[in-house]
Amino acid sequence: MTHLPAIQSPSDLRAMPVERLPELAAEIRAAIIDQVQQTGGHLAPNLGVVELTLAMHYVFDFAHDRLLFDVGHQCYPHKLVTGRYDKLAKLRTREGMAGFPEPRESAYDQFSVGHAGTGISTAVGMARGDTLNGEAFDPKANPTGRRVATIIGDASIVNGVAMEGLNNAGTLNRQFLVVLNDNGMSIAKPQGAMAQYFDRVRLSHTYTGLKKAGESVLKNMPGGAIVKDAYHRMGEATKAMLAENAWFEHFGLLTVGPIDGHNIPELIEFLTEAREFDRPMVLHVKTVKGKGLDVAEGDATTFHSPKPFSIDRDDETQNCRVEIASGGRSFTSAFGEAMHGLMTRDEKVVACTAAMPGGTGIDKVLPDFPDRTWDVGICESHAMDMMAGLAKTGFKPFFAVYSTFLQRAFDQAFQEVALQGLPVRLCLDRAGLVGGDGAVHHGFCDVSILRTLPDAALTAAIDEPSLIAALEFMRGYDAGLSAVRYPRDDVSSRFGDAPPFELGRARCLTPELDVRTGQTPDVAVLAYGTPAVAAMDAAQQLSGEYRVAVYDARFAKPVDAKLIESLLQAGVPVVTAEDHSVVGGFGAAVLESAQEQRLDAARVHRVGLPDSWVYQDSRSRQLAEVGLDATGLARTIRLAADSGSVPAPEPKPAASPEHTQAR
Query: 87, 279, 396, 408: which one is catalytic?
Result: 408
Q: How far apart are CA 151 and CA 111, in angstroms?
A: 13
Name the maximum alpha-carbon separation found in the chain. Answer: 87
Per-residue buried b or exposed e for 193-221, using 16+ beta carbons within 10 Å of the residue's own CB: ebbeebeebbeeeebbeeeeebeebbeeb
The answer to whether 446 touches 403, Cβ cutoff 8 Å, is yes
Instruction: Give every CB contact of residue 475 below 8 A, 6+ residues apart in sequence.
Output: 342, 346, 349, 396, 425
What lies within 8 Å, CB to CB, of 115 at 6+ separation is: 71, 404, 405, 408, 440
State the Cα–Cα distance between residues 43 and 99, nearest whole angstrom. Answer: 10
Which of these is catalytic: 380, 416, 472, 625? 380
* Burial environment of residue 143 by CB neighbours within 10 A (0 to 12, 13 to 18, 19 or more): exposed
Q: How many CB atoms lie within 10 A of CB 571?
A: 10
CA distances to 130, 154, 174, 190, 238 from 409, in Å: 31, 21, 33, 19, 39
Q: Are strands 574-581 and 396-402 parallel, antiparallel or unpaired?
A: unpaired
The H or E element containing residue 604 is strand 604-609
Cβ-contact 304, 45 below 8 angstroms: yes
* Long-range contacts of the stretch 372-377 (C-beta < 8 A, 24+): 372/343, 372/347, 373/343, 374/350, 375/188, 375/191, 376/191, 376/192, 376/352, 377/155, 377/158, 377/186, 377/190, 377/191, 377/192, 377/194, 377/195
The Cα 226–Cα 216 span in angstroms is 14
Contact yes or no for 177/204 (Cβ under 8 A)? no
Is 380 assigned a catalytic role? yes
CA 614 to chain centre: 15
Are the C-beta atoms of residues 290 and 43 closer than 8 Å to each other?
A: yes
Annotation marks residue 652 as catalytic: no
Active site residue 289: yes
End-to-end alpha-carbon separation of the chain, Å?
32
Q: Helices 531-541 and 630-643 sit at what angle, rounded to 10 degrees?
A: 60
Sign of the alpha-carbon torsion through 197, 199, 202, 203? negative
Contact (Cβ atoms closer than 8 angstroms) between residue 54 and residue 21: yes
d(CA 518, CA 649): 32
* 603-639 as b/e: b if 16+ CB within 10 A: bbbbbbbbeeebbbbebebbbbbbbbbbebbbbbbbb
Cis peptide preceding 521, ω within 30 of 0: no
Phi, psi (rounded to 5 degrees) for 269? -60, -50
**Active-site residue identified among 94, 147, 275, 289:** 289
Burial label, 264 (beta-carbon count in 10 A; 0-12, 13-18, 19+): buried
Secondary structure of 349-362 as H, E, C letters: EEEEECCCHHHHCH
Catalytically active residues are 289, 380, 408
